Structure 1
Amino acid sequence: MAARKLDPSLVRDFDIFRQMSDDDLDAALATASARRLPEGTVVFSQGAMAEEFFILLHGRLKVVQTTADGQQVVVRHVNPGEVYGIAMAVGRDDYPATATAVAESLTLAWPNREWNSLIARSPALSLSMLQTVGQRLQDAHTRIRELSTEAVERRVAHALLRLVRQAGKRTEEGILIDFPITRQDIAEMTGTTLHTVSRILTAWEGQGLVAGGRKKIVVCDAHRLFLLAEAAD
């Protein structure tokens, strides 16, 4: 996982950096390292001491939490431009989950001691951090409600629609979730089994709602999938 300095022009258009002066941007990048993350690279592991925070520039990450009984739960996916690994900003000394690159990715990393300095240079970063924490709380509440009250088919439909909103790319087939994702990932997002997710997606493929492949899901009929997600149990 090689580290290198980054050309400021490559990040200038990100919201987090757009309002920085050239001098502030240069100063911010001087304390950061740019890291290429081949698919499968673990950026940090659950329980490890949180010594750095990150901004994803390219690619996608999967954040997975392992419960006390050994169950793996996909907490979220990190998209380009998002801040992540901000354990110290929420009062933690360790990372609460494991972040892994699910596609070739590029990230910036700073040591935690640079947090206050970077926030001072970029009000947009402070806002992004607050939005990130708020979104995670909202997502957690939504997932708890879904797990508590919804049938598994609706949970799977909601999960696919969230992924479409986050990383949907229009193709001739439909809306491609634009990073590698497996049926096991969907199972871990929805609190169910691989067998159940496979059964549901196979049925939906037969109905023309989705199309699949190796680490690939295309939503062919988002409207019908939305109606399934919102249908009463």
Structure 2
Amino acid sequence: MTAPKLHRSLIQNMEMFRALSDDELDRTLEHAQPRRLLPGDAVYRQGELAGYFFILLHGTLKVVQATAEGEQVVVRFVSPGDVFGIARMMRRPDYPATVLAVQESLVLAWPSSEWERMVAANPQLTGNALQTVGQRLQSAHSRIRELSTEEVEQRVARAILRLLDQSGRTSDEGRIEIDFPITRQDIAEMTGTTLHTVSRILSLWKERGIVENARKRVIVLQPDELIRYAEGAQGSRHPEPA
């Protein structure tokens, strides 16, 4: 039985595909496979053969990497419209990290063998992918610098601000919420610290009216104060080691 044809409306409003004609969009989708994911499902795992590359259509994904010491690091979160799994472009045969669904999500998957054909038909895809890789490298360098030079409260504040910039949703009351589930353990793994330390910091900020915590939710009430923490202008009276 032939699989139903994917409609071009799935991707035609994405920046990298806007310059394509309807026929080009149809050809781009010819080999695409939709995959629906439930929270906790893996798109792929670190070390697996890189047989596909992907675009997230809906939901949120988490990129995690296991270190040589067996620790888990949250590298970043994937938002709708992002291309990921482009190991083929990096000339590596396997995926360097694991990608997990944070909430119910929908991705499109293409066989890695389609990368060259799609790039030839859509040069903007190459530019978008290069920009994506460049941004990820810049972010990685920034995080290495933060781990080396900044206090843990600064790192936690910066991590939350990055998530707000990526997926923040502002209410009528001016509260800004990270628009997907995130745990304190996620924040700890993003910032190279412990769950205990993140819990202590968020509890302190809650007492000061800067954030509000709920299960798998972080809501920022005073973003200006959080920026001050990120800039190192003020810190905990009782700092703990990371």
Normalised by the size of structure 2, how large is the TM-score? 0.92
Report deviation, 1:149: 0.3
Which runs of structure 2 are paired with 1:111-150 in the superposition (5 Å)?
Answer: 111-150=111-150
Change in CA separation of 1:186 and 1:5 when aligned onto 2, cut-off 3 Å: farther
SS of the residue 1:89 aligns to: coil
- Alignment partner of 1:227: what SS? helix
Superposed, 1:32-43 pairs within 5 Å as: 32-43=32-43
Shift of 1:97: 0.4
Name the % identity.
59
CA contact (8 A) 1:66 1:73 kept: yes
Matched-pair contact (CA < 8 Å) for 2:147–2:192: yes
Q: Corresponding residue for 2:198? A: 197
Query: Cα–Cα, structure 1 residues 5 and 195, in superposed 2: closer, same or farther, change >3 Å?
Result: farther
Structure 1: unaligned runs, 5 residues or longer: none
In structure 2, distance between residues paired with 1:124 and 1:4: 27
RMSD in angstroms over aligned alpha carbons?
Answer: 1.4
What amino acid is aligned across from residue 14 of structure 1 in structure 2? M
Aligned to 1:218: 219
Q: CA separation of 1:63/1:5 partners in 2, compared to 1, >3 Å: closer, same or farther? A: farther
Aligned length: 231
Aligned-pair distance for 1:35?
1.2
Q: Which residues of structure 2 form unaligned runs of 5+?
A: 236-242
Q: What SS class does the counterpart of residue 63 from structure 2 fall into?
A: strand
1:194 maps to amino acid: L
In structure 1, how many angstroms separate the alpha carbons of the residues matched to 2:214 and 2:4? 35
Amino acid in the other structure paired with 1:223: D
1:62 and 2:65 aligned: no
How far apart are the structure 2 equivalents of 1:157 and 1:5?
A: 45
Q: 1:4 to 1:54 in 2, by over 3 A?
A: farther
Show CA shifts across 1:149-177 (max 9, x none).
Answer: 00000000000000000000002361110
Aligned AA for 1:99? V
TM-score of the superposed pair, with normalisation by structure 1? 0.96
